[in-house]
Structure 1
Amino acid sequence: MSTPQTGAGDPRRSLELLWREDGAQEGRPGPKPRFTLEQVVATAIALADRSGVAALNMRAVADELGTGPMTLYRYVPGKAELLDLMVDRATEPSPEDLATVGSDWREHLVLLAEGTWDDFAAHPWLLELNQRRPVMGPGSLTGFDWALRAFEGLDIPARDQNLIITGVMSIVTGAARDHLIADSSDTPPPTTESEWWAAQEPYLVRAAEGGDYPRLAAVTTEEDAWSFHGREAMRFTLDAFLDGIGARWALDG
């Protein structure tokens, strides 16, 4: 099964819809639209939140709205363009987020990382997407513009600002994929996650005690060596990264 991808549809139509330039439904012939584009997108997001991207198709969204699939084509050309709208809406900062500003560059980038983690926790399907062609809509650009506030008043080149933000996002996305991504909805495993780890435990214990993996055995002897959660793993790596950024530019914070 191929990985769903942003930017896989008609870029002109996606951009028109993202920036609300297509005249929406008002100018089209036929009966008055039953829904707004925002309702269609919100319904698709709720479906993906509940069942993952694998369950997302035009018929499924139409069923959620209590209509037929053909009705949705009055709003979006297809699933690919709908996915672009969903990503932009799901990652758009709230007014409260935009009003929150870090006291310095470091705190602001931590807020960026924590907010991104919260987005992934609320919408794990975002982690299922190939976003090599990123959505450049008003929601995502508003978030990026807010992120750039970290560097106001600092003498850091624009290219390096982009690289730093990219680094923060890569850290969060990598940790979130390891800890937040849901099991496949089309071919779900027969066991729960705890059952899976319980099945592995005796093999891992034997491996650690058998002498073939001495470094693994040494690490495992510490009682809390593996007692961390995903958000903690993200923050550990993020803090080390920000330490390096601060040292490189001799920044306070």
Structure 2
Amino acid sequence: MTTEYSGSGDLHRSLELLWRRGERPTRGPKPGLTLDKIIIAAIEVADAEGLEALSMRKVAAKLGVGTMSLYRYVPGKSELLDLMLDHVVKIPGELSAEGSQHWRAFLEADARGHWQLCLDHQWYPFVDQTRPLLGPNGLRGVEYAVGQLSATGLSDQELIMLISVVSNFVEATARTYISELQAEKRTGVSNDEFWAAQEPVLVEAMNSGEFPTMAQLSEDTFWFTHEQVFEFGLQRLLDGFEAFIESR
């Protein structure tokens, strides 16, 4: 899988488009075509076929327009990706309208929303956002999170690190889950079939006496879902942060 990077195109043009400064096409507008329609169509292509399949040609075909007409609105795929990333992180209206929550309740809800975002847009957690390009939706999300966490008494740096740690956990766990789903699709071998094929060798290894600790594990030791891993990890992370906050 080829890694895509945020902010890898024309930074100035991406920022102009993200913040809707100078978004008009450079030549005469095509009736019915807008930047938002292009972004939504691109997301639909990526959701259905993966980010590697995304191209200006496929987006244009989905919109029923010529490929060159898209370039009057957005310079290329890299800048379009920046717009897609900011579009999918938009805070739901009902969430942004809520008042202040206890910090733990907020982080639980926010992490689960982030988890669902990754499952709905399975290309999203695979984009390298080490150098994120902050658009209005992304910045509103940070603004909202900092506001919800301000009562913790943490320093400004600690608040941002807390948000980053939880976000990194969610996306890393989602990548593992999605990679497994993609492996099943790519190989035609289900996860159950994959492990069943290894069972005879593993049983022999457990009976060899070389792995006595593992041989004593219960049969259902590894029978858990990725959702269970996510919930377990999230709660343990929050337990740790709760102890840290209460110690201040």
TM, length-normalised to structure 2: 0.90
Question: For the Cα contact (< 8 Å) 2:23–2:35, is it kept in 1?
Answer: no
- Which residue, 235, 241, 244 being the options, matches 1:245? 241
Match in the other structure for 1:16 = 16
Question: Structure 1 residue 197 and structure 2 residue 195: aligned?
Answer: yes
The offset of 1:87, in angstroms, is 0.7
Q: Does 1:229 align with 2:225?
A: yes
* Aligned CA distance change for structure 1 residues 100 and 209 (closer, same or farther; 3 Å): farther
Shift of 1:123: 0.5
Aligned to 1:125: 123
Q: Percent identity?
A: 38
Residue 183, structure 1, aligned to residue 182, structure 2? yes
Structure 1 pair 5–37 and aligned structure 2 pair: CA distance change class (3 A): same
CA drift of 1:33 comes to 4.1
Counterpart-to-counterpart distance in 2, 1:34 and 1:66: 11
Label 1:191 to 1:102 Cα distance change in 2 as closer, same or farther (>3 A).
farther
Deviation for aligned residue 1:109:
0.8
Corresponding position: 1:161 with 2:135: no
Is the alpha carbon distance of 1:60 and 1:235 closer, same or farther for their aligned partners in structure 2, counting shifts above 3 Å? same
How far is the alpha carbon of 1:101 from its aligned partner? 5.5
Superposed displacement of residue 40, structure 1: 0.5
Once the 2 structures are TM-superposed, how far is the Cα of residue 238 of structure 1 from its aligned partner?
A: 1.7
Q: 1:116 to 1:230 in 2, by over 3 A?
A: same
Q: Report the AA paired with residue 72 of structure 1.
A: L
Runs of 4+ in structure 1 off by over 2 angstroms are 28-34, 99-103, 187-219
Does the aligned pair in 1 maintain the 2:146–2:159 contact within 8 Å? yes
Q: Could you tell me which residue of structure 1 aligns to residue 57 of structure 2? A: 59
Q: What's the secondary structure of 1:113's corresponding residue?
A: helix
Runs of 5+ consecutive residues of structure 2 not aligned to the other structure: none
RMSD: 2.3
Cα deviation code 1:146-173 (max 9, x no counterpart): 2223323332100000111111111111
Task: Report the CA distance shift for 1:202/1:105 in structure 2 as closer, same or farther (over 3 A).
Answer: same
Taking the aligned partners of 1:110 and 1:38, their CA distance within structure 2 comes to 31
C-alpha distance in 2 between matches for 1:93 and 1:131: 19
CA contact 2:111–2:166 (8 Å) conserved in 1: yes
Deviations along 1:195-223, one digit per CA (max 9) or x if unpaired, are: 3333233333333333333333223xx23
The residue correspondences of 1:12-91 to structure 2 (distance < 5 A) are 12-25=12-25, 28-91=26-89
Give the Cα–Cα distance (whole angstroms) in 1 for the partners of residues 75 and 204 of structure 2.
Answer: 55
| Counterpart residue type for residue 213 of structure 1 | F
Distance 2:168 2:29 in 1: 46
TM-score by structure 1 length? 0.88
SS of the residue corresponding to residue 77 of structure 1 reads coil
Distance 1:31-1:164 versus aligned 2 partners, 3 A rule: closer
Q: How many Å separate the matches in 2 of 1:31 and 1:170?
A: 41
Q: Is the 8 A contact 2:3 2:128 kept in 1?
A: yes
Extract unaligned runs of 5+ from structure 1: none
**Which residue of structure 2 lines up, in the alignment, with residue 140 of structure 1?**
138
Kept in 2, the 8 Å contact 1:5–1:131? The answer is: yes
Distance 1:243 1:64, change over 3 A: same
Structure with greater helix percent: 2
Distance 2:166 2:151 in 1: 20
